């Protein structure tokens, strides 16, 4: 696993994007790969680690009803234990229950103090509308050691109002798991930089390390400082841990 890191002064804790590669439909194997990232992140003092969209299942939309996870699911026990042991908050991607016929595309956060949180993707894109239910709330904030982190998932970050609402609610970090191609990255990266600059947010983007669900990922997960400057980035595809360290 390659490490990309940068020291910055505009955050007061250490965050990271895990650019992981998912095995389609194999939650058990993906949990084990996630644990590799957690151990590497712990060595760098990471306090909050963010994984890509649907990282635990792969971007397998049609299969989501049979892959629904929740924070207390048995399959997530190793990640819950890792969060407690390392003192790290870990946000993973998985289908989650929406309360309706179709699941939601979710981000599950497992905290070291046994706090759990689930965010459901608010802005669906393309064929996702056939397989998923949009989350009802655009703003999802979590407080961690005095810092406010807002969750986002992929297409959420393409809607400027999503980050604006999060910032207005008090977020200082905007953390998103995504899946985007090279073409999508070229369009979206300037949006992430502008979002960081205009709302004085640290923006964390965790992209897939390889192809998933028929999409060829661009990789290049990154972290933008609150001035809109890219401060740490994976150089390519493959497994990378992108770290922004507090000064």
Token pair of 98, please?
């929406």
Number of domains in the chain: 1
* The length of the chain, given as a count of residues: 247
Question: How far apart, in whole angstroms, are the C-alpha atoms of residue 12 and residue 165?
Answer: 22
Using one digit for the tens of pLDDT, what is the confidence trace for 48-60? 999 999 999 999 9
| Position 7 confidence tier, pLDDT thresholds 50, 70, 90 | low
Tokens representing residue 132 in the block: 């998923």
Q: Is 84 exposed, middle or buried (0-12, 13-18, 19+ CB in 10 A)?
A: middle
Q: What is the CATH number of the domain that holds 137?
A: 3.60.110.10
Separation of first and last alpha carbons in the chain: 24
> Does 11 have pLDDT greater than 80?
no
Report how far residue 27's alpha carbon sits from residue 236's, in angstroms, rounded to the nearest whole number. Answer: 25
Tell me 215's DSSP state.
Answer: B
H or E segment and range at residue 34: helix 27-43
Which residue segment(s) compose the domain that 218 sits in?
Answer: 2-246
* Digit-coded pLDDT (tens) for 156-210: 999 999 999 999 999 999 999 999 999 999 999 999 999 999 999 999 999 999 9
**Which pLDDT does position 10 carry in this prediction?**
53
- Which candidate, 50, 61, 131, places its Cα nearest to that of 88? 50
pLDDT digits (tens, 9 = 90+) for 22-45: 999 999 999 999 999 999 999 999
> For the ranges 1-5, 36-40, 124-128, which has the lowest average pLDDT?
1-5
Going by pLDDT thresholds of 50, 70 and 90, the confidence category of residue 247 is: very low
* pTM as predicted: 0.96
Using DSSP's 3-state secondary structure scheme, residue 142 falls into strand
């Amino acid at each position: 696993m390659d490490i990309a890191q940068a020291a910055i002064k505009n955050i007061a804790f250490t965050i990271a994007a895990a650019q992981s590669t998912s095995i389609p439909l194999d939650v058990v194997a993906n949990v084990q790969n996630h644990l590799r990232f957690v151990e590497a992140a712990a060595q760098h003092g990471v306090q909050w680690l963010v994984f890509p969209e649907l990282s635990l299942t792969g971007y397998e939309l049609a299969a989501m009803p049979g892959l629904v996870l929740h924070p207390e699911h048995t399959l997530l026990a190793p990640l819950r234990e890792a969060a407690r042991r390392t003192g790290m908050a870990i946000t993973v991607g998985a289908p989650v229950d929406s309360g309706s016929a179709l699941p939601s595309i979710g981000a599950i956060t497992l905290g070291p103090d046994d706090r759990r949180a689930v965010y459901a993707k608010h802005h669906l894109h393309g064929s996702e509308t056939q397989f998923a239910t949009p989350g009802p709330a655009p703003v999802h904030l979590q407080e961690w050691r005095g810092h406010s982190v807002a969750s986002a998932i992929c297409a959420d970050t393409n809607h400027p109002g999503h980050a604006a609402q999060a910032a207005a609610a008090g977020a200082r970090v905007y953390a998103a798991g995504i899946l985007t191609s090279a073409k999508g990255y070229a369009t979206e990266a300037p949006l992430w930089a502008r979002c960081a600059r205009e709302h004085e947010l640290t923006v964390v983007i965790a992209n897939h390390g390889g192809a998933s669900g028929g999409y060829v990922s661009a990789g290049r997960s990154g972290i933008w400082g609150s001035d809109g400057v890219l401060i740490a980035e994976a150089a390519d595809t493959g497994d990378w841990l992108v770290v922004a360290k507090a000064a």
